[in-house]
Amino acid sequence: MIRLAIFASGNGTNAQNISEYFSKHEGIVVSLIVSNNPRAFVLQRAAMLGIKTHVFNRTSFYQTEELIDDLKSYEIDFIILAGFMWLVPDYLVKAFDQRIVNIHPALLPKFGGKGMYGAFVHKAVKIAGETKTGITIHWVNDKYDEGDIIFQADCPIEPNDTVEKIAEKVQQLEYKHYPLVIESVLKKSYKNH
């Protein structure tokens, strides 16, 4: 069994979508939802789905390596970032080398980097006059949104699309593709599992 931990900071719609997708999977399970925000709604979603949770603070995340022991205690094989807002520290990137993926709500390398998340991304895309946007699923390294790209999907932007409409289109791509791409990556990474 391949055990996943999903890291999320907020509402958790992607975390729920991924968890539900793998809930009936024979070889992959979401074992843990991890958050840096004790008030994040994703923790309530996890409770409703019967998934264990773990919350940490900035000091323990950046100044200790306790999280590695916590993840080991749940036998976590792979980490999924789904709306997780903090930069992943180097020790965690190294411990889970090529085993952490993230989704970004734009077509990287455009509109990435620190502070580029959620509505900020969609607003920047709209202001730039882009005719399309989309999602990028990528490996995580020690820089914001700079890991190697695994998958991209795009959607058109109509001239009258609002920031909210753009967000809605991108979210549909996230729901459709993220679980499938995770599954595909895991099948390649754990052929003999």
Q: What is the pLDDT of residues 154-184, one digit of tens each?
A: 999 999 999 999 999 999 999 999 999 999 9
Give CA 187 to chain center in angstroms: 18
pLDDT (tens digit per residue) in 89-105: 999 999 999 999 999 99
pTM: 0.96
Query: Catalytic residues, which ones?
Result: 104
pLDDT (tens digit per residue) in 16-57: 999 999 999 999 999 999 999 999 999 999 999 999 999 999
User: Cα dihedral sign for 97, 98, 104, 108?
Assistant: positive
Query: How sure is the predictor about 76, in pLDDT bands with cuts at 50, 70 and 90?
Result: very high
Q: Which residues pair with 155 in a beta bridge?
A: 133
Fold classified for 2-189: Rossmann fold (3.40.50)
> What's the CA gap between 119 and 122, in Å, rounded?
5
- The pLDDT, as a whole number, for residue 191 is 73
Based on C-alpha coordinates, what's the Rg of the chain? 16
CB atoms within 10 A of CB 129: 8
